[in-house]
Amino acid sequence: RQSAVREPPKSRCCEPPLPAIVSPPLYMGWLSEKSTKSRAPPDAETAVAELRAEMARRGSPIDLPTDDVLRFAKARKLNAVKAADMLQADLEWRQARRVEERRDEPAEDILGKPIAALQQVLPHVCSPGVDKLGRPIIFKHFGGQCSFSRLCPDRESVDRLCEYNWWVNEQYCKRLAALGAEQWVVVIDAKGWQPGLIDRTALRVLKSMADTDADHYPERLGGLVVVNAPASLALVWRIVKTWLDEKTKAKVDIISSSDPKRATERLHGLAAPDQLPEQYAGTAPPLEAWPIWPAKSGLPSKPNGAR
């Protein structure tokens, strides 16, 4: 029987005042009304109206698409006051980091080093494929090569990597806009991961990524599937899940490396085979420059698509 999940062998600055009205063009994190497919149900419409009213009461009226306002409302269980706190903090965060102007900068300028250096440690790509709901599929490889300490030997490089996280999220938002989708799904490959990779640098980076995603890209994650997970990953998951809310934790599915059949079934339940790359039970072209592992791993070692 063929293996389920196959790998090819081979600045802080002074914060400017907020605008009186925040409009969609400022932020790629927001999607235009034309790019969305869903409409808010009646109770959600009320929550959106209450959130808009609360922001206006605070002197920061917003002119954002309904679906974007609703994301913040949902993230705070439709509590207008708490959602307004979250949205206000997000607007200030975006202003401080000049997200709207920096999102179009080259990745190297944000990261402070060639993107190839990051791809060697943390391969990641927003694939051409989509899942069965039309959402883009993002692949990440947090495997044996994922040494954050090697990638970030000093505090500045850690900060730059954390900045890169929001930059790449903005690129994913562009993909959402092109597809008319609201959420993305993530497939993480943990092949080769071992506890020694978790040190102070790794924890800081992962905590920053989790906080940024939760605070500034709420309701963007549609699902997260971890494949090839070693048993030792359970320890890290116990740490990471303390950073996540209950709704996000419910979207995570971790599949053991000893259960390739379940991995295949899960991936095929997520997307049609022609939307998945060759490494991940699909028939689409393989992801390029993806990590390879020796034959004893149970996966093919032919460097198909690797560079």
- pLDDT beyond 60 at 180: yes
Q: What is the mean pLDDT of residues 159-168?
A: 96
Highest mean pLDDT, choosing among 10-14, 156-160, 237-241, 257-261: 156-160
- Residue 6 scores a pLDDT above 80: no
Confidence of residue 138 (pLDDT cuts 50, 70, 90): very high
pLDDT for 15 equals 38
| pLDDT at residue 127 in the model | 96
pLDDT at 11 over 80: no
Please answer whether residues 61 and 19 qualify as being in contact, where contact means their C-beta atoms are separated by less than 8 angstroms.
Answer: no
pLDDT at residue 220, as a whole number = 97
Higher pLDDT, 163 or 31: 163
Can you tell me the distance from the alpha carbon of 142 to that of 89, in angstroms, rounded to the nearest whole number? 30
Per-residue pLDDT band for 27 (boundaries 50, 70, 90) equals very low
Q: Is the per-residue pLDDT at 295 higher than 60?
A: no
Output the CA–CA distances (angstroms, integers) from residue 148 to 114, 117, 167, 225, in the order listed: 15, 11, 18, 21
- What's residue 22's pLDDT? 40
Cα separation, 136 vs 118, in Å, equals 22
What is the spatial distance between Cα 47 and Cα 264, in angstroms, rounded to a whole number? Answer: 39
Contact between 47 and 70 under an 8 Å Cβ cutoff? The reply is yes
Give the pLDDT score at 279: 93
The secondary structure element, H or E, covering residue 287 is none
- Please provide the average confidence, as pLDDT, over all residues in the chain: 83
At residue 122, the pLDDT reads 94
> In the sheet that 184-189 helps form, which strands lie side by side, from edge to edge?
124-130, 136-141, 184-189, 221-229, 252-256
What's the DSSP call for residue 191?
T
Which pLDDT band holds residue 159 (cuts at 50, 70, 90)?
Answer: very high
Query: Residue 16 above 90 pLDDT?
Result: no
Whole-structure pTM value:
0.80
pLDDT for the residue numbered 135: 97
pLDDT > 80? residue 89: yes
Residue 229 burial (CB count, 10 A): 25
Arithmetic mean of pLDDT, 236-246: 74
